[in-house]
Amino acid sequence: MPTVSEISSRYVDEVAALDPVRGERWGVAADPTRLTDYSPASYQALADLLRRTRQDLEAATPQDEPERLGQGFLIDWVTGELGIIDAGEREENLSIIVGAPASTRSVFDLMDRSTPEAWEHIAARLEAVAGAMAGYRATLQAGLDRGHPAARRQAIAVADQCSIWAGDGTNGGWFGAFVAGYGDGPRRPTLDAAARKAAAAYGDLAAWLRGDYAAYATETDGCGEERYRIWSEYLLGTDLDIDEAYAWGWDELARLEAQKDVECERILPGGGFEAVRNLLINDPNRCIAGVDAYREWLQYLTDEAISGLSGKEFDIPPSIARCEVRIPPEGSAAAAYYTSPSEDLTRPGRTWFPTVGRTRFPTWDDVSTVYHEAVPGHHLQGATIRLVPLTRAHKLGFNSAHGEGWALYAERLMDELGWFRTPETRLGFLCAHAFRAARVVVDIGLHTGRRIPAGWPGSGEQWTYDGAIDFIVRAGGMDRDKAESEVLRYLSWPSQATAYKLGERTWLTGREKARSAAAASGRAFDQKGWHARSLALGPLGLRRLEVELAKA
């Protein structure tokens, strides 16, 4: 009978072979010429793999602590993903952030471009784009045939995204610009031709979504409570108490709004939030001009946090003491994101900050995002997990509530440590957290039909798409186009928006229990040690994380 470690390693290899895009994100050595098959048959094959993995895990006996943790993580993960597939959710997966078009395009960002052989791999993958999009279209059509259409709003959004990347049909669009990085060597004609084919596939998919699919899509944006619970089990790793989470989200938002008022008064006495926001956005002395200068500033903040925290709050090994800042192409969702280092750490961790067509960047609200995405947030957590003794799938895995909860906890930790050195940057931190609290109530409200409570604008009414955007603008202090991208993003990804604040709550509760236990035994609380032990647990759903943090 295989061990938990053997089952875990086999799972990684088999999933990477079946889903090469996921394998590339993991940084697993696999065939670099293939793309994921998004057809119904491939999802069935994945479901079979997940069932077999779960059956083997349930029969195995853990031999040590890493196997105990790894067994629990992987059972939860494969069970959650099976729930998504079995419920037909992949047949409705139209999303500008986690849909097949976005995932397929972004995989090229991660590919090696340093050798002639690497460019041959890129050409082969470009040739495979049309097949990947055809399989995806077949899965969406299967959803329509079964009477499970996605929202029309999502169909149009993904169609617009695909059109941007397809370009005008002659130059290969984004793919043509990408292969231009090769230069004028002998493989250029092959690369150009493959890029045009890939762009044409995106253009064809855009036309089909905008025309055929949209005609049968639903006008209902939300998924309903039953589907919401399936997603929350997958992404949060818990049986979510929706009413409790909704009420708590409102309380947390009220707390943060009160703190925002304090910082606004420090910046512009008597001005109020809207006046302060306008000042911070429009004052040229509080902005950075130019995309290159913006990236350099973000890299400086990243490097400063790594050097300033290393040896004090965390022991950061040299092998992960670098996190690169990149700018993704136009057409990407508006939110910043992180990509983990490869399994062998040869590809570094990277943060990606979309510019969304801007060339001028206010600085007040991005400092907190840097700490969230890099250090002590996603990069510290994700890269550290690569180094601790865990089973292979556990090292490479991710749970939204665990990961996003830690990253939000990391922002709060930086506030506790005094790293928001001006009222402006502390207001940015508070807006980032108010935005996440607002997303809890917006996401639950839009998807499950819960009404706005007394004491808030729109009291007693149901949520609307435009009302949700207005609410996010006020809470997060962001531009309307970015707020709309956020609302659109989470309508296609039920419950993920709640992972940040609900995950942070679990991390804070775990720390408080550890601090209380230390006090009860007459010991000083060792926060640095608690961080190290807690990160070494690896990703866990909230149900398991709460139990393990209490013991860390």
Residue 335 pLDDT grade (very low, low, confident, very high; cuts 50, 70, 90): confident
* Poorest-pLDDT segment among 63-77, 203-217, 465-479: 465-479
Averaged pLDDT for residues 336-344: 92
Same domain, 43 and 70: yes
For residue 59, the enclosing domain spans 4-223
Mean pLDDT of 318-338: 87
State the pLDDT at residue 135: 98
Q: 477 vs 255, 470, 486, 509, CA distance in Å?
A: 16, 10, 13, 28
Q: Is the dihedral of CA 161, 210, 490, 456 positive or negative?
A: positive
Q: How far apart are CA 109 and CA 330, in angstroms?
A: 13
- Are 390 and 66 contacting, i.e. CB atoms less than 8 angstroms apart? yes
Same domain flag for 26 and 155 = yes
Q: Based on the domain organization, do 238 and 129 belong to the same domain?
A: no
Which residues lie below 8 Å from residue 446, measured CB to CB, with a gap of 6+? 221, 222, 463, 465, 468, 487, 491
Mark whether 205 and 186 lie in a shared domain. Answer: yes
* 216 and 333 share one domain: no
Q: Is the pLDDT of residue 171 over 90?
A: no
pLDDT value at 333 more than 70: no
Is the same domain home to 254 and 385?
Answer: yes
Q: How far is CA 318 from the centre of its chain?
A: 26
What does the block give as tokens for 139?
């899965």
Q: Which of 202, 223, 244 is the last residue of a domain?
A: 223
pLDDT of amino acid 202? 98
Residues 440, 493, single domain; the answer is yes
Cα 411 to Cα 428: distance, rounded to the nearest angstrom:
11
Q: What is the mean pLDDT of the chain?
A: 95
The verdict on 169 and 249 lying in the same domain is no
Does residue 407 fall inside a structural domain? yes
DSSP state of 544: H
Return the sign of the alpha-carbon dihedral for residues 440, 444, 450, 452.
Answer: positive
Residue 550 lies in a domain: no
The number of distinct structural domains making up the chain is 2
The reply to whether omega before 376 is within 30° of 0 (cis) is: yes
